[in-house]
Amino acid sequence: MKLWYTYIVRCADNSLYTGVTTDIDRRLTEHNTSRRGAKYTRSRRPVTLVYLTEGMDKTSAFKLEAQIKKKSKRDKETLLDETSCARARARELVNA
């Protein structure tokens, strides 16, 4: 089974773009350098990865993408803040 990832990138204009992929490195390269990147991000380069889920099945990845896309920018920023804080706490616990 192929693993799918839901991701959010921050564009140069500080907007957020949400997508799904099976290869995050390839997709980031496409967003930043290729015509295969999303039309939205092509005029907002460079983009930076700010959120990435663990690998999941295709249906779950697309459902999560849809849920995130329905959120306001404020709610997306809150999600990013919470995720960042959780990762920082996990690093602290591992290093303790």
pLDDT tens digits along 8-62: 999 999 999 999 999 999 999 999 998 888 899 999 999 999 999 988 999 999 9
Spatial separation of the C-alpha atoms in residues 93 and 24, rounded to whole Å: 27
Instruction: Give pLDDT, residue 35.
Output: 86
Per-residue exposure over 2-27, b if at least 16 CB sit within 10 Å of its own CB, e if not: eebbbbbbbbeeeebbbbbbeebeeb
Question: Looking at the domain covering 5-70, what would its CATH class be?
Answer: alpha beta
Domain segments of the chain: what residues? 5-70
List the 16-21 sheet strands across, edge first: 16-21, 5-10, 48-52
- Taking the whole predicted model, whether its pTM rises above 0.85 is answered as yes
Q: For residue 7, list its beta bridge partners.
A: 19, 52
Instruction: Give pLDDT, residue 84.
Output: 81
